[in-house]
Amino acid sequence: MKMKMRTIIQSCVLFLWMQALTFVRSQDCTLEEFVNGPLYDSNFDISGLDPSYPGRKQVSVSCRVGYSGFFKLLCVEGKWLSQGTRCQPI
């Protein structure tokens, strides 16, 4: 009986550990979060961006025609971090 209980407990711990790893790995960043967040500028050209990106992915965001700027996004733990400048009129 003790051996059976120990096996059940070990199985439960393994299952919870696997769930935790899946949660950590699945913290993607989405285009929707970017567009609805404080980093978004309506002068960005987001037409070539994917709907979501995995953690640690760096994404370059270009400006619409008539604007210039250098803007990069980095997905970290499900949140977008930015680097660069917003789009400015040419």
**For residue 87, with 0-12 CB atoms within 10 Å meaning exposed, 13-18 middle and 19 or more buried, which class applies?**
buried
Other CB atoms within 10 Å distance of the CB of residue 4: 8
Give the range among 21-25, 42-46, 80-84 with minimum mean pLDDT: 21-25
pLDDT value at position 17?
A: 45
Query: What number is the average pLDDT over the span 45-55?
Result: 96
pLDDT value at position 70?
A: 84
Tell me the CATH number for domain 28-89. Answer: 2.10.70
Helices (H) and strands (E) in the chain, counts: 2, 8
CA distance 88 to 32: 23
Domain boundaries, the chain: 28-89
pLDDT value at position 80?
A: 96
pLDDT tens digits for 6-38? Answer: 555 555 454 554 555 445 555 999 999 999 999
